[in-house]
Amino acid sequence: MFVPCEGSACPAFEGSTLLMPAVSVGNVGQLSVDLVIFTLGMSRIGYFYTDCLVPMIGNNPYATTEENATELCINAEVYAVPSKELVVLQIRSPFIKNKYSAFCQMLLSWVKSCGFAKVAVLSSSHAYQRNDQQLLGTSLRYLLSPAVQKTDSDQMQRLNWKQLEKIAAFPEVNDDAKVLHIPGGGITKLLFTESCTRGIQMVVLLKFCSEGDNIPDALALADYLNEWLHLTANQQQPGSPASTSSRWKIPSSWKLLFGSGLPPALF
């Protein structure tokens, strides 16, 4: 359930878009959401209280000064930028075993009760498990629930995007029976199928990738989202040549994505 920040009234979400990541291979969705929150300067308005995620606490991942660096963050927080009618749920820890379904039910009930216009899920899938069709063209794909087909399908076609291909349920036995398959996608498939059943407008954007340095994947997925929602324009970074301009600001926490380096005492 959503809990507003202390001293704040529960905000109105009706008509807004909810953006969230799936905890998936390479943490690409979570990294992309980091970029959106930090670039747009989104304010934290509360958190999502649930026992379905591994408990965690840490320092402010979007610190800009010594003062706000001491602020704490937890495993599921909610941010908003009212001018863009955008609400973001950032998830920072993995799910507890056998809690996937309970989380999806809780989340979608909240989406319904708040009157969100649509939900956008950023996810990823194992690149090495692609079928022949998925090897062709871009590594980015999308999915639309039936409820959102009328409003966004035409736009996806104008953007020349590729919908995620289904795979044969029984390869080499019956190639006509197709199923949705998102290996490494975490709760993506369950969340999407539940949204289809409940009539919720959901758009899934995902990237095929492998574990490793997933910063380029996160930037690509954030750009993919931006093509659709137009969240930010390309902006020149101070003191950098035009060729390295970017629309996304990198959070300070990304300096520690691969640890803090080798301690000099080792040598």
pLDDT (0 to 100) of residue 66: 85
pLDDT (0 to 100) of residue 175: 67
Q: How far apart are CA 55 and CA 60, in angstroms?
A: 16
End-to-end CA distance of the chain: give it in Å, rounded.
50
pLDDT (0 to 100) of residue 142: 96
pLDDT (0 to 100) of residue 111: 95
- For residue 117, the one-letter residue type is A
> What is the token pair recorded at 27?
């943490």
pLDDT (0 to 100) of residue 242: 43
To the nearest 10°, the Cα dihedral for 23, 113, 39, 151? Answer: 90
Q: How far is CA 122 from CA 87, 88, 90, 177, in A?
A: 14, 11, 11, 27
Q: How far is CA 86 from CA 15, 36, 101, 154, 257, in A?
A: 9, 10, 25, 22, 27
Domains parsed from the chain with CATH numbers: 12-231 (3.40.50.10900)
Ordered mean pLDDT values, 10 residues apiece, the chain (267 residues): 80 92 95 96 93 93 88 94 94 93 94 94 95 89 92 90 86 74 94 94 96 93 95 63 65 80 70
pTM: 0.90
